[in-house]
Amino acid sequence: MANPFRWCLVSQDCVLQINVVLAVVGLIILLDVFSHLYLKTVMFPGLNLYPVALRAWLFWVRVLTMVVYVLNAILGIRMARNTCVFKFAGYMLIGCVVLLYTFSIAVTRFMYRRRFEFFVQMMVLQMWIKDSLGKVEVEFGCCGKTSVVDYQKCSTNRTWASGSCCGEKNCPGCISKLTEYLWTIEMDVARDNIIVSLFLFVALIVMVAHFIDVQFQEESYDSDDSEETLTVRGDDMSTIKIGPSQSGHDGD
């Protein structure tokens, strides 16, 4: 019987390779997640409010998602050698859940821009109150929250960082600088999750095609084996029927 899915045949090597790629991509994205945590710890420590991309809960969600992503890829590598229904069902279930999480994280990074800008303003205000904006001023070449006027209106004897641009003309405020910079982090998170989603979507399609092919081959093999068994049994029956007549002639 011809295979109706022969146009989408997927070899074991293809399954192995796509899942190895998934594992490598997952590890690379996991490193990117930890780099964002390092940035938060070094540049913006001890704050109570952050934009979404730097919040602790999103960090743990991303870490957990990437770990499950890599483990699922390892399961796919094992399935390249031995495919069974339970492994396939587990792979597809975990893959669909991870795909949903990664896609939702990617999409939501493009939403709520005004809310994002509000949280950046609150973050800069916290740093201003705690007198910890100097490092940001030096790193991003900015001055105060909005401009050097923040130092002129400040009631305390606060002085700007020596490496900032507060003494120069047209020195921008740190809110605009940090809004631009932190938005790139939001886009990095979106990019990482879009890449992960695309690779995982392709892998799920490959695994479905491979599983269908393996199941069809097993059914075809079982069908051929049953036909051979029936043929042998038919021969045995004919032998049994012929046997007594032959022995009667021998007796005569």
Residue 7 pLDDT level (bands cut at 50, 70, 90): very low
Residue percentage of the chain with pLDDT more than 70: 78
Interacting residues of 214 by C-beta distance below 8 A, sequence separation 6+ = 83
pLDDT in tens, 172-224: 889 999 999 999 999 999 999 999 999 999 888 888 877 776 654 554 544 44
What is the arithmetic mean of pLDDT over 240-246? 44
DSSP-H helix ranges across the chain: 12-43, 56-79, 85-108, 113-129, 134-140, 149-153, 174-251
Report the pLDDT value the prediction gives residue 147, as an integer from 0 to 100: 86
Residue percentage of the chain with pLDDT more than 90: 22
Rounded mean pLDDT of the chain?
Answer: 79
Q: Between 231 and 201, whose confidence is greater? A: 201
The tokens of 57 are what? 């809960």
Q: Where are the domains of the chain?
A: 10-214
pTM passes above 0.75: no
Distances (CA, A) of 136 to 51, 149, 208: 16, 17, 50
pLDDT in tens, 35-91: 988 888 888 888 888 888 888 888 898 899 999 999 999 988 887 777 778 888 888
Residue of 97, 90, 96, 65 lying closest to 76 (CA atoms): 90
What is the arithmetic mean of pLDDT over 24-43? 90
Residue of 77, 116, 80, 76 lying closest to 98 (CA atoms): 76
pLDDT in tens, 137-178: 888 888 888 888 888 876 667 788 887 888 888 888 899 999
The tokens of 21 are what? 């790629």
Report the pLDDT value the prediction gives residue 131, as an integer from 0 to 100: 85
